[in-house]
Structure 1
Amino acid sequence: MKIKFFFPILLFSFSLISTSCVSVQVKENTISTAPSEVKKPKNIILLIGDGMGLSQVSTAIYYKDGKPNFERFHTIGLSKTSSASDLITDSAAGATVFSTGEKTYNGAIAVNMDTIPLPTIVEQLSKRGLATGIIATSSLQHATPASFYAHVKSRSLYEDITTFAPNSGVNFFAGGGLKFFNNRKDGKDLLAEMKAKGYDIITDKLPNTPSENNEIILLADDGMPKMSEGRGDFLPNATKLALEKLSKNEKGFFLMVEGSQIDWGGHNNDADYLIQELLDFDKTLGVALDFAKQNGETLVIVTADHETGGYTLSSDGNDYNKIKPSFSTPGHSGTMVPVFAEGPGASFFNGIFESTEIYHKMMTLFGK
């Protein structure tokens, strides 16, 4: 009886082990072959809602008249945002991971922990002949946009950051920051240098059609006005203009668009400010998604460098039919932030991952 009882157990155990081995092997093979199986995009649009956590995204659901564009995405992941120096990142280190794939110290603009410049996605793609663009509702020297074209040890060195613009290879700039070009402490006229490098310079209003040359659009001395101050449709319209221009490049393009002032509303603990900026950003997502749907070769990624304000959509006391936006800090928080993706390669952005992976996933899809 003992022998008869022993052999069925042995056979059953062997069956389990064999099945387990096959299961692991299939899983490993699926992972290893996934990149070649995924359709790769020709173009990538990266939209960064600075300071935008899940509660900020939820704002679009409750405060937008109509369906938010956030709901058009079918792939959603979560990004861990700590920097190399701090559990809670700032925007400079937070954007540097998107532009270079490396975590660094708070305040760093596309340099590593030893302040050595790191090659950015914009620089690498420009060398390969792809078109590139940078748009922000801040100044172009602010931490996030700067991290895509400059290399300095401190985000506060606005004039130093600006010196990188003429030789950046970026085909389309739009945002604020005019004074750092033409009203500098060192007396240099960087607008003249931009012009000498072949840029068309626009400082009055957003044009209706793009130039055939590289162009830089500077519509404010520093940051752009708030939505409440009459900024209007600058962000969605600048995005439309950039897409019309960059999509003419047969090799493809990379465009970074930042809703900068979602973060500023969070720092101010000003819910009305934050909500207006978030809804403007959601409208801009619609422009990107509409283009991608028609184009068929464009991946749209939406994420944040970090969350700002510890923002929540809490009930107003015991009234569960009334939302009362609230904040827990005037600074940043360490919460994970969402990553939305739609288009060829979107499946790469499922799951929970380090913020650096966004760069690496983009570069993999671009064929490195």
Structure 2
Amino acid sequence: MRLKRIIIPFIVFSLFSCKSTIVTSKTVSNPNNTPKNVILLISDGTGLSQISSAFYYKESTPNYTRFKNIGLINTSSSREDVTDSAAGATAFACGEKTYNGAVGVAADSTNLGNIVELVASKNIKTGVIATLAITHATPACFYAHTFSRDSQEEIASQLTRSNVDFFAGGGLKFFNDRKDGQNLLINLKNNQFDVYTNALTEFATIESSNKIGFLLSNEGMPKMEEGRGDFLSKATELGIQFLSKDDSGFFLMSEGSQIDWGGHANNASWLISELIDFDNVIGKVLDFAEKDGHTLVVVTSDHETGGFTLAAKKKKREDGSEYSDYSEIGPTFSTGGHSATLIPVFAYGPGSEEFKGVYENNEIFHKIMKVTNWGKAK
């Protein structure tokens, strides 16, 4: 399937491109437009309809309205038109499209350098956060290399040896309740991690630590509807504080993981509550970036899940006939899986203009590396 040339009215501008062409970023000429920090926010399974739900269901103005630089990405993997989270996150983390299920490996199964590994030699601090297991597909692609996303025990083992400086999420059982009997919490400690398994802590408690890990549930974190609270906002703020303490620059990926699961379950209330939580995180991050002035914020998703639509609510007349009530929304789904719809990209801060346009998902990586100059030799 080829994405034919299209013109897409989106927000207040028009964009056009095609699937077979990868758009190359323009050269950044202004040295003052070089970000020191990058925060990549990924809302797993989120398309434009999911984002639109915040405009109808959130009680306050969505933070998505604060962006002026907006683009679209095509999310297809190397072999399939419809991607999964592993191939999508590998494109973001490593800059290359791969097959569905692959974590940090190319289409030929060779290892790809990821952004965490590539910036470690430059003394840039790195962090990953998720509301599912930290070994789940999306966060894993930023530090691990496996042929299959299902190899979560191997992914956990690789995290203990990685260059990640801060992580937070679930997945404790992949570290201390393993088939091989190992206790990887010891391995984490040996790699200079202080690990917490009960709750997030205050920055003052971890300020002097070399590396920090939070493993706060056996698998995924609870749903928002089950009382997770503001974990994602607090973990992201704590990650920013920890990674910026020595002023050397940082990269942080924070994922609203369960928007995707709400889509898979065709559960609108689950999806919408997770999306609103993610929008709150956007607000916290933008507040930091506005004050800091040296931070690039990129907000996007790996793919859309559920074929989610904000349709008019179906109602019945007294005679039993059905009609669509255009004064009320009735969220609907067309699939329990992923879709191939184009995905919005929102960017703020120095270098954010580079993220306008229509391009392939792996260009997110290349655009980040270009505007930061992180891809240049030390």
How far, CA to CA, are the matches of 2:289 and 2:26 in structure 1?
A: 26
From 29, 35, 38, the counterpart of 1:36 = 29
Give the letter aligned to residue 372 of structure 2: F
Identify if the C-alpha distance between structure 1 residues 291 and 187 changes in structure 2 by more than 3 Å, giving closer, same or farther: same
From 279, 283, 288, the counterpart of 2:285 = 288
Identity %: 54
Where 1:114 maps in the other structure, the secondary structure is coil
Contact map agreement 2:25 2:367 (CA 8 A) in 1: no
Deviation at 1:296, TM superposition (A): 0.4
Where 2:160 maps in the other structure, the secondary structure is coil
TM-score by length of 2: 0.88
Paired residue for 1:144?
Answer: 138
From 327, 333, 336, the counterpart of 2:342 = 336
Contact map agreement 2:26 2:354 (CA 8 A) in 1: no
Deviation at 1:208, TM superposition (A): 1.6
Task: State yes or no: 1:212 paired with 2:211.
Answer: no
Paired residue for 1:347?
Answer: 353
How far, CA to CA, are the matches of 1:287 and 1:222 in structure 2?
A: 26
Give the letter aligned to residue 188 of structure 2: M
Task: State yes or no: 1:81 paired with 2:87.
Answer: no
Where 2:104 maps in the other structure, the secondary structure is coil
Task: State yes or no: 1:323 paired with 2:326.
Answer: no
How far, CA to CA, are the matches of 1:199 and 1:155 in structure 2?
A: 24
Contact map agreement 1:51 1:308 (CA 8 A) in 2: yes
How far, CA to CA, are the matches of 1:322 and 1:225 in structure 2?
A: 30
Deviation at 1:33, TM superposition (A): 7.0
Counting only pairs closer than 5 Å after superposition, residues 144-293 of structure 1 correspond to structure 2 as 144-209=138-203, 210-213=206-209, 214-293=211-290
How far, CA to CA, are the matches of 2:252 and 2:98 in structure 1?
A: 23
Deviation at 1:73, TM superposition (A): 0.7
CA RMSD of aligned residues (A): 1.2
Give the letter aligned to residue 345 of structure 1: G
Paired residue for 1:358?
Answer: 364
How far, CA to CA, are the matches of 1:249 and 1:111 in structure 2?
A: 32
How far, CA to CA, are the matches of 2:25 and 2:122 in structure 1?
A: 26
Deviation at 1:119, TM superposition (A): 0.4
How far, CA to CA, are the matches of 1:322 and 1:343 in structure 2?
A: 37
Where 1:70 maps in the other structure, the secondary structure is helix
Contact map agreement 2:347 2:355 (CA 8 A) in 1: yes
Contact map agreement 1:200 1:211 (CA 8 A) in 2: no
More helix by share: 1
Contact map agreement 2:25 2:354 (CA 8 A) in 1: no
Deviation at 1:212, TM superposition (A): 2.2
Paired residue for 1:114?
Answer: 108
> Which sections of structure 1, spanning at least 5 residues, go unmatched?
1-30
Where 2:29 maps in the other structure, the secondary structure is helix
Bigger Cα displacement from structure 2, 118-127 vs 100-109: 118-127
Where 2:147 maps in the other structure, the secondary structure is coil
Task: State yes or no: 1:124 paired with 2:121.
Answer: no
Which runs of 4 or more aligned residues in structure 1 lie more than 4 Å from their structure 2 counterparts after TM superposition?
Answer: none
Post-superposition CA distance 1:156-187 (Å, at most 9, x none) = 01101111112211110000000000010001
Deviation at 1:248, TM superposition (A): 1.6
The structure whose Rg is larger is: 1
Give the letter aligned to residue 208 of structure 2: E
Where 1:340 maps in the other structure, the secondary structure is strand
How far, CA to CA, are the matches of 1:226 and 1:316 in structure 2?
A: 25
Paired residue for 1:24?
Answer: none
Deviation at 1:304, TM superposition (A): 0.3
Where 2:363 maps in the other structure, the secondary structure is helix
Give the letter aligned to residue 301 of structure 2: A
Where 1:232 maps in the other structure, the secondary structure is coil
Paired residue for 1:97?
Answer: 91
Contact map agreement 1:130 1:249 (CA 8 A) in 2: no
Deviation at 1:32, TM superposition (A): 9.1
